[in-house]
Structure 1
Amino acid sequence: MYGIDYQETFAPVAKMNTVRILLSLAAKYNWHLEQLYVKNAFLHGDLEEEIIMEIPPDFKEKSKSNKVCKLKKALYGLKQSPRAWFGRFSKFMLLNGYRQSQGDHTLFFKHSDSGGVTILLVYVDDIILTGNNEEEKASLRKNLTKEFDIKELGRLKYFLGIEVAHSSKGIFISQQKYIKDLLRETGKLACKLAPAPVEPNLKLGEAKEDPDVDKGAYQRLVGKLIYLSHTRPDIAFAVSMIS
């Protein structure tokens, strides 16, 4: 609503602590971690409001009219799209007998009568599927494919900038690739290590001319560094398989 929350955007994102706990459980109980991807996720959302959109420029020039479009489905660019998509996905999971975690609404789980458990974690359009009920996991994959455009990516290898390596000793995660990509993007890949972030005994003075700064690039860099500081567990994080 204008003046209240019109500039806000809702997006379903899993908490990093939830991701770590899920990886820990998979390592401890030797669960298979699978990754799924929802193609064009936001296009699957159902709109509750009446949304009117101007005709795209190319079509407007051809039609030469003052008509507008009434949307029947969510589109990328709409602030309602992320919430509409997550609302439909949550409804689908609940109808299939899953419960939604109150600690992290992007986590869904289902217990079977035989004592098995199936867990699904969604981060916008990326999904982690794990648990010890293989029959239920196969059924869920089948139902998801019928309802949405799903791509199965196999064993979990890369999620939210985190590399996941599987071995007989456990599950090892690191952000080496994320850090290298960040250094490559900023042109710092060939830089040498330094014990301090600033040159010792550096004297700072008033700049005669302020250099031009790309505000957007600076904000993206700061955001990535903040994300890295929140998610990197001492650069590499290992979850030992305890049995």
Structure 2
Amino acid sequence: METIRLLLAIAANNKWEVHHLDVKSVFLHGDLKEELDTTLKSLDFKKCALEQAIYTKTSKDSTLLIGVYVDDLIITGTPKKEIDKFKAQMEEKFEMSDSRIISLLLG
């Protein structure tokens, strides 16, 4: 939960939207954690050295932060088109539920 609070605090401070993706059929994907890690790294995300559940991708024009909790992805950053692009890439790899902008998170 501390990781989620950290992501929400960063997003609030920067006035970024926060999105949520949920991987469907998690048990059919075998070791999801390993698959997500490999997929995120193939999309040029770097695992945060201080918080293993956060992945980052930065460029001159964009910043994306991804929080991974079991089969849930919390996405924030800017610009929105980069968030949409990331979500489309993930939906190509996994069957996902897109909750759009996050309004509720159970934990």
State if a TM-score over 0.5 links the two structures: yes
Residue of structure 2 aligned with 1:110, choices 57, 70, 73: 57
Contact 2:56 2:65 in 1 (8 A): yes
What is the CA distance between 1:135 and its match in structure 2? 2.5
1:125 CA drift (Å): 1.0
Give the conservation status (yes or no) of the 8 Å contact 2:32–2:71: no
Unmatched 5+ residue regions in structure 2? none
Q: Which structure shows the higher helix fraction?
A: 2
| Count of residues in Structure 1 that have an aligned counterpart in Structure 2 | 107
**Number of the residue aligned with 1:195:** none
Instruction: Give the corresponding residue for 1:98.
Output: 45
Partner SS state of residue 145, structure 1: helix
Q: Following TM superposition, where does structure 1 have runs of at least 4 consecutive aligned residues deviating by more than 6 angstroms?
A: none
1:112 partner letter: S
Q: CA deviation at 1:18?
A: 1.7
* Deviation, structure 1 residue 102: 2.2
Gaps in structure 1 of 5+ consecutive residues? 1-15, 46-83, 162-243
**Whose relative contact order is higher, 1 or 2, with alpha carbons under 8 Å and at least 6 apart?**
2
| RMSD of equivalent CA atoms | 1.3
Cα distance in 1, alignment partners of residues 10 and 36 from structure 2: 24
Name the counterpart of 1:135: 81
Query: Per-residue displacement from partner, 1:80-127 (whole Å, max 9, x unpaired)?
Result: xxxx2100110000000000112222211100122x210111111111
Distance 1:155 1:137 in 2: 11
SS, match of residue 21 in structure 2? strand
User: Residue type of the partner of 2:85?
Assistant: S
Q: Identity percentage over the alignment? A: 27
Which residues in structure 2 correspond to 1:128-167 (within 5 Å)? 128-161=74-107
Structure index of larger Rg = 1
TM-score normalised by the chain length of structure 1? 0.42
